[in-house]
Structure 1
């Protein structure tokens, strides 16, 4: 329920034992390595070692891609709520068989890449077949471009062009030329033109005026029918090859778990490599630095004592706090809020873990906003089943715990408001017995009929929530030696709040002139404290602007925050009304 105290670890170990030590530290799981101090890095005797991090990342990427390919060809079938497989530390850190897994991944990737290339080749063959369709009636080889004295042109003309006019224009150039229509469709007429070579240039010039498009059949030989048959044969061959490659990939799907385990093993090796990248070394010794939780120091000492190494642990100086890693230690209740904390940012080292303070408010506010027995039961059941079947860890466990506690709070608030899937019990009873006088489930208060009570209660909870944060802020300032800041900032707001409470008591309950004037006096004192605290470090006219800024920020900020908690009432009311509709 706090931020763990950390110690800086400095370590020197024989180079030959470095990998073995890193494996043990991964198994221990409590050391985070960091860059050595600049003074150490500047020593000429120390140098960086060759890194294998990029190679390991590439290998891991290959394994993950192979698993993704298998997922496309053979989707993995899992039970709806299946837990992740578990392996021992020895199995995870065992590198045997890794080369075989990488070779398998390379084969799967190569087969998939070849299948993609086959797809591109098939597209090209189909495009060729489609382009040959208009020329199927032509029995002449497509690759012939004429004889010694004659030339042959193959091409297309827009369908709107009259072929007789084209023939007439060609006849105006030479009588030793002829135009033959091979076929036609809705867009074009496909023609063959035979002419003498000495008239070819003039005829091409004439055809250009009719939007003639020459057709090239480079790389083809024989008539269009023969070329089409060759393309179909190529498609059949490619199809057989693709089918064989797909079958080979499907067959390798039986080793999917092996690839996943290899990827996890590489992840462990990658962690070791990244730690080694931060180290400096001589020919015989490796120097490393990192951080370890103070509570794990004894376990670390036992591990290090089995190696030829020297080490020391020391408390970080306050100037080093920004670089100290943060690790939170929470119980089962507050651990649920880790998920929310991680979504934003962890608290700075040397400050306060917000989870123990905010967890009760978060869970309570969630229950108030949902406030339904039925919804709460569903959430509780879902969380318990997920934790039993999935065996979640880390963030997944925190989410399940948060769902469980939110469900408990939702059901509890549902008991107080009489909500069970809104008003389903009431509706069912009156559906079967319209004359029933049963008013529905018992409730202490109802969001619909007691909306003012819920509104005031929400703002009171908001005040408690804000004051909790203010207490934490005041304590932190006192620890830093800024007691004046705690008095003039948080303290002034508490005095104003006390005056407001006394004034409310006078207005709504006690009606005493003594209490009235006492409340006004406390309010005035609080405002004066606020103004003095705002301008105590300012000079000249800055005191005036600081005073106005303090008044404005307090009125619009702090009191605005209190009013914002009315959204709890609004969401509770909206949920009940929508459920009834």
Structure 2
């Protein structure tokens, strides 16, 4: 239940009934829980004290003398002492030499200490105790006990057994309290929302006859909000205005059903600043492809998508953005796995001799896989630069779009075509030659413009030249996409190795095929578990570092409209309120 995040689903009438006299009901539940909690704490405290007493008396359990009889008498002094187990015999001999009449009985010998009952003439007085101490014998005080040690221990153990039984009875009461959990959840959500109401009302501006409420609202909701509020009473007025220059409005991401799940990835990094691009729809296709490449198995994708659908049904959250993201990632894994021939690794080849790869087999063509990862990375990085240019154009900074993004795009593409243009057919040499001049022109443009914020002409020229070093940063970004190759290749190789190991018992009569089938199933489940986290984390990481770094401006403040919010309960009539 904790994993799936199950919630209570109530009708409005059930909600109204469950929240009658909420404070009295909440107080009653609290008192029951508090009483049980206190009783368990008392039982634990008593049990600990009894256990301590038993441990203290255990070494003296063979002493057949009531502890209260061990004391100083008129003629004889008796006491309990301990000594180091390695030296107690010699210590007693030394003490006997110094104190004539000393008698003793070794009650028990432990791993480190020996426990001894001693007696000596009362005429020795304080000198007797001093002689024992000088010989290395330490007096033990157990004066708080009355009775024979073995009988005391038996009584304490019986008392502990009674306490354990009482603890089990109280735990049975806890099991009965489980029935109150749903009521506690309802009351919690009700009281939290009531507190929120009072808190927001306390922030209203008010006089004796009027009140003023000021807040943010999405522009698309303004018309509906005004009509609903003004319908409540004839003297309610709703005014709106655009944000002031000194105000920073909150941010709410609004996307269609296909892009909305990827808001989960964006929000992990933070919200964009007001007026800037929401990266969610732009990262979506790349995230899916990257995730699929990292998993590289169509059956894994089927499993992931099926689990996501099951969780959506189990939690009754068909619109969960995270579960929709996982479902779409599963579908992408099916596609990428089919293209790369991953169907439980190389199981079709091992069982039927079938080659299933459509694009290429990562095991047979790892170089192609690595080049494909680099190509995707190059497209991803260039797209990020294009988005930054688009953002500059939207905000009226056309010159910045040309100098800060256009020149870089021209330089990177020009260098790529200059190096590989000759492979583009008969016109390849011409393309490469033109690309060379484009790259040179772009480099000169960067040198001329990247230091424009400096007034000093030498500083301007120096900054422009140094800006070309940024090319190594783009190269580093593209190389980072080798992680897709690493994750996907590892998943493929591990799947093949697991198949090899688990299919070996298949030749055994009768039980062999069963062992093989079960082994293959659990082995690939293990492979899914260890790879799915890496696929998600690294697919996200490529967005945050290599992609977002080109255009994303974080720092937005989340838009949290006032309304009914519940942690444990869903009420159909209150959804979206």
The TM-score normalised by the length of structure 1 is 0.73
Partner of 2:461: 544
How far the C-alpha of 1:287 sits from its partner, in A, is 5.4
**Structure 2, unaligned stretches of length 5 or more?**
498-577
Once residues 540 and 381 of structure 1 are traced to their aligned partners in structure 2, the CA distance between those partners, rounded to angstroms, is: 63
The 1-side partners of 2:14 and 2:205 are apart by: 29
Match status 1:420 vs 2:343: yes
**More deviation, 445-454/462-471:** 445-454
Conserved in 2, the CA contact under 8 Å of 1:137 and 1:182?
no
Select the structure with the greater relative contact order (CA < 8 A; seq sep ≥ 6).
1
Q: Alignment partner of 2:392: what SS?
A: helix
When residues 506 and 164 of structure 1 are mapped into structure 2, their CA distance, relative to the original with a 3 A threshold, is: closer
Which residue pairs with 1:167 in the alignment? 96
Which of 278-287 and 121-130 deviates more? 278-287
Corresponding position of 1:317: 244
Unaligned runs of 5+ in 1: 1-77, 172-176, 431-438
Residue by residue, what CA displacement relative to the aligned partner does 1:430-460 show, whole Å, maximum 9, x if unpaired? 4xxxxxxxx5236244445555555554444
2:330 maps to 407
**Equivalences for 1:477-556 in 2 at 5 Å?**
477-500=392-415, 503=418, 504-506=420-422, 508-511=424-427, 515-538=431-454, 539-553=456-470, 555-556=471-472
Shift of residue 514 of structure 1?
5.4
Q: 1:280 to 1:210 in 2, by over 3 A?
A: farther
Residues 1:216 and 1:469: Cα distance change in structure 2 (over 3 Å):
same
In the alignment of these two chains, the number of paired residues is 485
- 1:86 aligns to what? 9
Deviations 1:46-103 (A, max 9, x none): xxxxxxxxxxxxxxxxxxxxxxxxxxxxxxxx69979532124675583634432333
Please give the residue correspondences for 1:449-468 in structure 2 after superposition, counting only pairs within 5 Å.
454-468=369-383
CA contact (8 A) 1:105 1:259 kept: no
Cα 1:143/1:112, change in 2 over 3 Å: farther
How far 1:337 moved relative to its partner? 0.9
Cα deviation digits, residues 174-207 of structure 1 (max 9, x gap) = xxx65342723243142243543x7422212111
1:471 Cα deviation after fit:
2.4
Following the alignment from structure 1 to structure 2, what is the Cα–Cα distance between the partners of residues 569 and 129? 63
Alignment partners' CA distance in 1, 2:158 and 2:293: 71
Partner residue in 2 for 1:26? none
Deviates more, 1:103-112 or 1:153-162: 153-162
- SS in structure 2 at match of 1:320: coil
The CA distance in 1 between the partners of 2:485 and 2:414, in whole Å, is: 26
Structure 1 pair 219/81, CA: closer, same or farther in 2 (3 Å)? closer
CA deviation digits over 1:255-306, x for unaligned, max 9? 2222222233333234335535655666787655432222222343345342
The separation in 1 between residues aligned to 2:492 and 2:107, in whole angstroms, is: 74
| CA distance in structure 1 between the aligned counterparts of 2:162 and 2:333, rounded to whole angstroms | 64
Q: Could you tell me how far apart the structure 1 residues matched to 2:146 and 2:429 are?
A: 113
Corresponding position of 1:560: 476
Deviation of 1:329 after TM superposition, in Å, equals 1.4
Q: Aligned to 1:334, which of 255, 259, 265?
A: 259
**Does the 8 A contact of 1:143 with 1:220 survive in 2?**
no
**Which deviations, in whole Å up to 9, do the C-alpha atoms of 1:515-562 show, x marking residues without a partner?**
554333222211111111212222233123312321101x20123323
After superposition, residues 158-307 of structure 1 pair within 5 angstroms as: 158=84, 159-161=88-90, 163-171=92-100, 179-181=103-105, 183-186=107-110, 187-196=113-122, 199-224=124-149, 227-228=152-153, 230-232=155-157, 234-276=159-201, 278=203, 288-305=213-230, 306=232
Q: Distance in 2 between matches of 1:301 and 1:557?
A: 51
Match of 1:70 in 2: none
- Tell me the secondary structure at the aligned position of residue 181 of structure 1: strand
How far, CA to CA, are the matches of 1:414 and 1:364 in structure 2? 11
What is residue 472 of structure 1 aligned with on the other side? 387
Alignment equivalent of 1:379, drawn from 299, 304, 307 = 304
For 2:69 and 2:209, the matched residues in 1 are separated by 73
Give the Cα–Cα distance (whole angstroms) in 1 for the partners of residues 206 and 120 of structure 2.
82
Contact 1:122 1:235 in 2 (8 A): yes
Give the match's secondary structure for 2:240: strand
Deviation per residue, 1:383-431 (Å, 9 max, x gap)? 223223332367xx2232222222222222333333322332222124x
Is the alpha carbon distance of 1:242 and 1:415 closer, same or farther for their aligned partners in structure 2, counting shifts above 3 Å?
closer
Moved more, 122-131 or 529-538: 122-131
Per the alignment, residue 155 of structure 1 pairs with: 81
Cα deviation code 1:474-510 (max 9, x no counterpart): 1222233322211111111232245346534345423
Judging changes above 3 Å, is the alpha-carbon distance between structure 1 residues 501 and 102 closer, same or farther for their aligned structure 2 residues? same
Q: Distance in 2 between matches of 1:369 and 1:225?
A: 67
**In structure 2, how many angstroms separate the alpha carbons of the residues matched to 1:166 and 1:462?**
86
Distance in structure 1 (CA, Å) of the matches to 2:151 and 2:494: 72
